[in-house]
Chain A
Amino acid sequence: MLEFLTRLFSRESSSSKDIAKERLRLVLVHDRAGVSPQLLQALKSELIKVISNYMEIDESGLEVNLESNDNQVALIANIPIKQMKRLPENVVSTL
């Protein structure tokens, strides 16, 4: 009876097996791609450098992650912008 009840209620939140599966998927994306935290960190700092040429970003709020669903891997970057930079005329004309 108790089992039945817990099963009934556990449907609401995601089960621990689903959490395990999701964590595993994510960790395997990193493992299989050979992406180290150092590599992600390097990617992050280069992104900041490039984007900072064009806009002012909130570096502390920057998130860069690899995510997977349905056998596809995506690089998801969440970059909060503080302010757009006023670009000098000559830069704009070359864009």
Chain B
Amino acid sequence: MGEVIVVTSGKGGVGKTTTTANLGVGLAALGHKVALIDADIGLRNLDVLLGLENRIVYDLTDVTGGRCRLKQALIKDKHCEGLHLLPASQTKDKTAVSPEEMKKLCQDVAQEFEYVIVDCPAGIEQGFRNAIAGADKAIVVTTPEVAAVRDADRIIGLLEAAELRNPKLVINRFRYKMVQQKDMMSIEDIIDILAVDLLGVVPEDEQVVVSTNKGESVVQDERSRSGQAFRNIVQRIKGEAVPLMNLNQNGMLSKLRRIIGLK
């Protein structure tokens, strides 16, 4: 029986789907059997991030509605052996699935896969309740901004009320230089306010846009810094104690290292 992890945030646009895709690809790259479930019904995106948008035949609501079998709806990733996607429906809305149906679905998927990662929609309404219904663990994604951290706090409260205790935090789009200049909240500031465990910090990285454009994931880009951050998070999900990477990319030493190809 695999582990069901929901990736959530409250606020939109902080990187839930990007995180879901990278963790899925990262885990699968290490040889694990991984299924990604896009729970953002009506606004599916995970398929596009993975470059699988042309392969969708059936979707999540077809499975819960009994119009196809689970195996028929699961799409094999083209880059990564062992990675599968269960896409969201683009035409239905959030009420097309109930939390009970999602719970059953997650259990069924977890029979076949080691890791099941659910991409939660933004907001705190039924889409959110559906996405967390079948989860064993939760990851909360935030960015170092007031609105995103505020929403993360709200989500943490709702997760704990739903018996999903000890959610782990991912701080995305972190800018070391701005933190140095005291123009961005630091990791310590955010952890102090939210009082949760840190799972990882992903630096702001233009390479994310480049990869997304191509339907690829930065986690597979050996030279990308955000990719390294996601690879570290993958290790931590597996239970390895990996220290936070050096986020200072502007130091002379790291510049020199990058020039001579040592990353």
Residues on A facing B (Cβ under 8 Å): 3, 6-7, 10, 15-18, 20-21, 23-25, 27-28, 31-32
A28-B153, A32-B153 in contact; A3/B181 too (CB < 8 A)? yes
- On whether A24 and B150 interact (CB within 8 A), knowing A17-B179, A17-B189, A32-B157, the answer reads yes
- How far does the alpha carbon of A16 sit from the alpha carbon of B186 in the complex, in Å? 12
Query: Nearest Cβ in chain B — how far from A12, in angstroms?
Result: 12
Contact present for A7 and B154 (CB under 8 Å): no
Is B237 at the interface (CB under 8 A from chain A)? no
B38 to chain A, nearest CB (A): 29
User: Would you give the shortest CB distance from B190 to chain A, in whole angstroms?
Assistant: 9
Whether A21 pairs with B154 at a CB distance below 8 angstroms is: no
B182 touches A17 (CB 8 A): yes
A20 close to B154 (CB less than 8 A): no
Contact between B193 and A17, CB atoms less than 8 A apart: no
Complex CA distance for A10 and B184, rounded to whole angstroms = 13
Contact between chains at B146 and A17 (CB < 8 Å): no
A94 to chain B minimum Cβ distance, whole angstroms, is 45
Q: Which residues of A contact B185 (CB under 8 A)?
A: 17, 20-21, 24
| Inter-subunit contact B182/A15 (CB<8 Å) | yes
Q: Are A20 and B145 in contact (CB under 8 A)?
A: yes
Choose one: B146, B157, B181; the contact of A20 (CB below 8 Å): B146
Q: B150 to A17, Cβ gap below 8 A?
A: no
- Residue among B146, B149, B184 with the highest chain A CB neighbour number at 10 A: B146
- Interface pair A10/B182, CB less than 8 Å apart: yes
Contact B183 A16 (CB under 8 A): yes
* Interface contacts beyond A17-B182, A28-B153: sample of 11 additional A-B pairs, CB < 8 Å, sorted by A: A7-B181, A15-B181, A15-B183, A17-B183, A17-B185, A18-B182, A20-B185, A24-B149, A24-B193, A28-B150, A28-B193
Whether the pair B181, A6 counts as a contact (CB closer than 8 A) is: yes
Instruction: Report yes or no: B181 in contact with A27, Cβ–Cβ below 8 A.
Output: no
| Chain A residue at minimum C-beta to C-beta distance from B154 | A31
Chain B residues within 8 Å of A16, by CB: 182-183
Find chain B residues with CB under 8 A from A17 CB. Answer: 179, 182-186, 189
A24 touches B146 (CB 8 A): yes
A residues within 8 A CB of B153? 28, 31-32
Does B150 lie within 8 Å of A21, measured CB to CB? no
Taking CB atoms, residues of chain B closer than 8 Å to A23 are 146
